[in-house]
Structure 1
Amino acid sequence: MRLSISKKISLSLILVLVLSIATMAWLTSRSLQAGFNTYLKEKQLIDLNKVALVLARYYSEHGDFSNLRHNPRVVRPLIDGALGRVPDPLQRDSRAEPEPDDEAPPALNSLRQNQERRPALRPPPPGTVRSPPPERAGEARPRAGILDLGPRLSLIDENGEAVFGPLRQGQATLQQAVIEDGKTVGIVLAPVPEFGFEKTTLEFIRNQMSHIVILALALILIAAFVSIWLGKHLVRPIASLRKTTQQIASGHLHARAEIVNQDEIGDLAQHINAMAKHLEQNELKRKKIMADLSHELRTPLTVMRAEVEAMIDGVRALNIESVRSLETEIRHLNKLVDDLHQLALADAGDLRFHFELIDVRDLLQQLGSRFQARMLQAQLSLHVDAPDLPVQLHADSSRLTQVIENLLENSLRYTDAGGRVLLRLSVEPGIVRICIEDSAPGLAEGMHHKMFDRLYREDQARSRVKGGSGLGLAICRSLILAHRGEIQASASALGGVKVTILLPSSETKPESSS
């Protein structure tokens, strides 16, 4: 089953939210149980303290707990009184009768004693049982607290013997010492409370848990809807990018992606648009190159065919001049094919280089001397401006010579008679600069960057009549780039074109390619 990105995002968010909400619900329930148990324990300790105080007073009055041993009918009223269920009999015993006033008349003291005297509740004598007050009809007995007699409360005397109750020391119990006159006379024991002991408590916890579960389910449903919406919202720009890339892959290079968000997806859309723009420009260049190349190949072939047909028809005599004309067209065609082959090698990275340490100053002076005679014949002056000291450079001597010869050939071919050509060498920190300038004619403003395009000619000054394939400067750029250098063209102060070559000095050695 193939899952879309939208479904993957939605399922991932739902899974994370479900785990988070379920964990939160579980922790909440555990915290609620633990907190409620802590509350029960604290309340139990308070009740144990009340029971211990009542038992301490009982011990103070009777001297021991022998009357309480295994006698629930005596124990229950004491425990109920300590927990506030019935009046404490020991508390009622603590009331003292008013003492007579010696200064008052005897009759007045007798009347006062009769009015203020209350029946005193005495502890039952040993062996007797005091019955609890009868319950009135229709009146509910006060509900027992968390402490209850029987299985839940025990008393251990000072000798460690059980007085009542099933619990013993050493078990998991709550303990409260019974202290009389600073002496521990017994220990009251109660089990550690749990919320499941009482029906009402258990019902409360169940209600709270059901509320938590219902809330968790509601949150999960809301999170699911939000996750699905968010997944579709996040994937919507990706769907637009997919549509654009499909159009580009189908050959519609003019297609552009819509930039909706200023985030990573927006950056991706910008990169796709830049890629489409470059592809479109490259396609236009390819079509132009193919058109120009077909024209460059067709022209010499047409000339050669016309001359051969003229000689066959007897219009033109077969002599040395006609043969030389054919040879010129063949040479031009051969140079065009050679240049195309070099460009193909450069594009494929298969051009061979042999880098070594050479003296650029000596190389330029040799080239200047070689072109001097041809420059004079074309009524041009060539001047070489180079430092007095040698300039060392890691370069391929033959490839660098090919670049300089091509540039000097262009100046010789296109500079008007009576003009000047300047070949200058200078050294800067980390850079060797070679400049070739000529006089008029120049190029139109804004056209200099096109000089290195393949098969480019400027109609007024770079026509095919003066020779050249239109690929020489493109080859020069490939060779300079292989030297990790730069080549650029601009307007010359002499009125023509200035070509500047920047090469790294001998401190940076290009990688040799063989």
Structure 2
Amino acid sequence: MLKKLRLGISAKLFIAIFSTCMLILIIMHWGVRLSFEHGFIDYIKRGNEQRISLLSDALAEQYQQHDNNWDFLRKDDRLVFRMLRSFEQNPDANNPFPPHGWRTMFWVLDQHYKVMVGPHSAPPADGPRHDIKTDSGHVVGWVVSAPVERLTRSTDINFDQQQRRTSWIIVGLAMLLAALVTWLMSRGLLAPVKRLVEGTHQLAAGDFASRVEVSSQDELGRLAQDFNRLAGTLEKNESMRRAFMADISHELRTPLAILRGELEALQDGVRKLTPQSIVSLQNEVATLTKLVDDLHQLSLSDEGALAYRKKNIDLAALLEMAAGAFRERYASRQMRLELHLPAFAAQFGDPDRLFQLFTNLIENSLRYSDAGGMLRITLVAAETGWRLRFDDTPPGVSAQHLQQIFERFFRTEASRSRASGGSGLGLAICQNIVEAHDGTISADHSDLGGLRIEVHFPG
């Protein structure tokens, strides 16, 4: 079986534009032809009617000047042509005579229908006829002209053929020009599309580093920009996915290895089953449970699946509740917890998720600040909403790590133990909760020497 011919977008665009050009050319060709033929015939007809009208009036005047007798014309038949020449030398600007080659034959007849001037053939019965009248209204002759249609049928055939040949030559040249222009246009218009197609194929094949050149600011240019942004996002997501999987495997491998080693030691009798060994096993299980719970919370917040039940709440009261749950733990490490809050701070949000946000941030400062330090929580009104700051004491975070602390599994010190550093997912969950409330969260250096986490809630 023969495969169906599949035309590409370049061929389709070429055919569409070229067909449109051809249709317009053919319509214009026939329109100009019809307009020329009919308009030129009307032009000749009006010129001949004017000629025989002027000629009949002039002959009537001459007839009366020569004692109402046609002998002057029979003796000098060239008089008529001199009259016509005088008309041509003094033409009427509104009704010009047609060219010499397009004038019809004419006859001058007396009152007895005898030919006085004109060809030897009999005057046509269907030709235009104009009366020659005296001042008293008597008809003393006629000026008869051959029909314009007969002129066009006989003398116009060569001219018509010449015009047809010329017009078709023009059409042929126009077709070639249209084909060339259409081909160049189709190539120029589709060049960005072809680059996008090639880039899409590379992207579909897994080459997320693929980019296309942006050569214009029109719709195709904006599409190319969007393609590059999409490719950049996919490249970043792929890099994050690989790093995420590597981090998860690393985080899970260590506690599992410890559990396996201790269980094998108990099984082989190397270690005895004591309360201390049970506590060690429970600590590793707790570490795994915390990691799995954090991963679950992060996946829910990434998908927007966390249930947000927003209502009007008091941020100041919610912060006092969260801080109250940590006062004993802060006191156990000789750390101070200071609150600088207004009497009331109205906000529209989910109290449970915001409480989770505050506890994560307070927990983060407790883990990473040295003993004997402090955490200062400040809530102030901003131009649009509320501005919340968490300032703690050293150690701080280097400038190059400030924008990375919200990434998953990120720790400022690679050697930090899991007991103090946690899973590295708390701040990533905080960022998702803040963004779900249309807010922003950022990190900076604190004037206390440690880290400042700043959250802005819109009003």
Give TM-score scaled by structure 1 length.
Answer: 0.75
Q: In the alignment, is the contact (CA less than 8 A) between 1:443 and 1:496 conserved in 2? A: yes
Q: In the alignment, is the contact (CA less than 8 A) between 1:60 and 1:180 conserved in 2? A: no
Q: In the alignment, is the contact (CA less than 8 A) between 2:106 and 2:143 conserved in 1? A: no
Displacement of 1:203 after TM fit?
2.2
Displacement of 1:461 after TM fit?
8.4
Displacement of 1:273 after TM fit?
2.5
Identity %: 34
Q: In the alignment, is the contact (CA less than 8 A) between 1:441 and 1:496 conserved in 2? A: yes
Partner in structure 1 of residue 448 of structure 2: 494
Partner in structure 1 of residue 62 of structure 2: 57
> Where do residues 320-339 of structure 1 align in structure 2 (5 Å cutoff)?
320-339=275-294
Q: Distance in 2 between matches of 1:504 and 1:273?
A: 32
The counterpart of 1:166, out of the listed 121, 125, 128, is 125
Aligned partner of 1:298: which letter?
Answer: R
Aligned partner of 1:215: which letter?
Answer: I
Does 2:21 correspond to 1:10?
no
> Where do residues 84-483 of structure 1 align in structure 2 (5 Å cutoff)?
84=82, 145-149=103-107, 166=125, 178-181=132-135, 183=137, 185=139, 190=145, 193-194=148-149, 197=152, 199-260=154-215, 263-388=218-343, 390-459=344-413, 463-483=417-437
After superposing the two structures, state which structure 1 stretch, 345-354 or 295-304, moved more: 345-354
**Alpha carbons of 1:247 and 1:195: their partners in 2 closer, same or farther (altered >3 Å)?**
farther
Partner in structure 2 of residue 31 of structure 1: 35
Partner in structure 2 of residue 82 of structure 1: 80
Aligned partner of 1:2: which letter?
Answer: R
**Alpha carbons of 1:182 and 1:317: their partners in 2 closer, same or farther (altered >3 Å)?**
farther
Q: Distance in 2 between matches of 1:410 and 1:380?
A: 13
Q: In the alignment, is the contact (CA less than 8 A) between 1:33 and 1:195 conserved in 2? A: no
**Alpha carbons of 1:251 and 1:63: their partners in 2 closer, same or farther (altered >3 Å)?**
same
C-alpha distance after superposition, 1:454-505 (max 9, x if no partner): 1111116854241411111111111111112221111111111111111122
Displacement of 1:385 after TM fit?
0.5
**Alpha carbons of 1:154 and 1:335: their partners in 2 closer, same or farther (altered >3 Å)?**
farther
- Specify the SS of the correspondent of 1:238: helix
Task: Tell which structure's C-alpha radius of gyration is larger.
Answer: 1
Q: Distance in 1 between matches of 2:356 and 2:110?
A: 113
- Specify the SS of the correspondent of 1:446: helix
Displacement of 1:421 after TM fit?
0.5
Q: Distance in 1 between matches of 2:318 and 2:362?
A: 14
Q: Distance in 1 between matches of 2:112 and 2:295?
A: 112
Aligned partner of 1:355: which letter?
Answer: K
Q: In the alignment, is the contact (CA less than 8 A) between 1:37 and 1:195 conserved in 2? A: no
Q: In the alignment, is the contact (CA less than 8 A) between 2:389 and 2:453 conserved in 1? A: yes
Gapped runs of 5+ residues in structure 1? Answer: 68-73, 88-141, 158-163, 168-172, 506-514
Task: Please report the RMSD computed on the Cα atoms of aligned residues, expressed in angstroms.
Answer: 3.4
Q: Distance in 1 between matches of 2:438 and 2:166?
A: 73
**Alpha carbons of 1:355 and 1:143: their partners in 2 closer, same or farther (altered >3 Å)?**
closer
Displacement of 1:176 after TM fit?
5.1
**Alpha carbons of 1:249 and 1:417: their partners in 2 closer, same or farther (altered >3 Å)?**
same
Displacement of 1:416 after TM fit?
0.8
Displacement of 1:297 after TM fit?
0.8
- Specify the SS of the correspondent of 2:339: strand
**Alpha carbons of 1:57 and 1:448: their partners in 2 closer, same or farther (altered >3 Å)?**
same
Aligned partner of 1:471: which letter?
Answer: L
Partner in structure 1 of residue 92 of structure 2: none
C-alpha distance after superposition, 1:188-243 (max 9, x if no partner): 56576347535223322331232112111221122123322432343334333322
- Specify the SS of the correspondent of 1:394: strand
Displacement of 1:347 after TM fit?
2.6
Gapped runs of 5+ residues in structure 2? Answer: 86-99, 114-122
C-alpha distance after superposition, 1:93-119 (max 9, x if no partner): xxxxxxxxxxxxxxxxxxxxxxxxxxx
C-alpha distance after superposition, 1:133-162 (max 9, x if no partner): xxxxxxxxx999513349xx99999xxxxx
Q: Distance in 1 between matches of 2:299 and 2:84?
A: 112
**Alpha carbons of 1:183 and 1:283: their partners in 2 closer, same or farther (altered >3 Å)?**
same
Q: Distance in 1 between matches of 2:112 and 2:77?
A: 15
Displacement of 1:428 after TM fit?
2.1
Displacement of 1:269 after TM fit?
3.1
Aligned partner of 2:244: which letter?
Answer: I
C-alpha distance after superposition, 1:284-341 (max 9, x if no partner): 1111110110011111111111222222233322111111111111111111111111
Aligned partner of 1:82: which letter?
Answer: V
Q: In the alignment, is the contact (CA less than 8 A) between 1:414 and 1:462 conserved in 2? A: no
C-alpha distance after superposition, 1:378-416 (max 9, x if no partner): 11111111113x111111111100000000001011101
Give the aligned length. 430
Displacement of 1:40 after TM fit?
1.2
After superposing the two structures, state which structure 1 stretch, 376-385 or 248-257, moved more: 248-257
- Specify the SS of the correspondent of 1:450: coil
- Specify the SS of the correspondent of 1:393: strand
Q: In the alignment, is the contact (CA less than 8 A) between 1:47 and 1:147 conserved in 2? A: no
**Alpha carbons of 1:278 and 1:489: their partners in 2 closer, same or farther (altered >3 Å)?**
same
**Alpha carbons of 1:198 and 1:304: their partners in 2 closer, same or farther (altered >3 Å)?**
closer
Q: Distance in 1 between matches of 2:281 and 2:171?
A: 93
Q: Distance in 1 between matches of 2:84 and 2:457?
A: 109
Q: Distance in 2 between matches of 1:408 and 1:149?
A: 120
Partner in structure 1 of residue 117 of structure 2: none
Partner in structure 1 of residue 95 of structure 2: none
- Specify the SS of the correspondent of 1:245: helix
Give TM-score scaled by structure 2 length.
Answer: 0.83
Displacement of 1:6 after TM fit?
0.9
Q: Distance in 1 between matches of 2:243 and 2:202?
A: 23
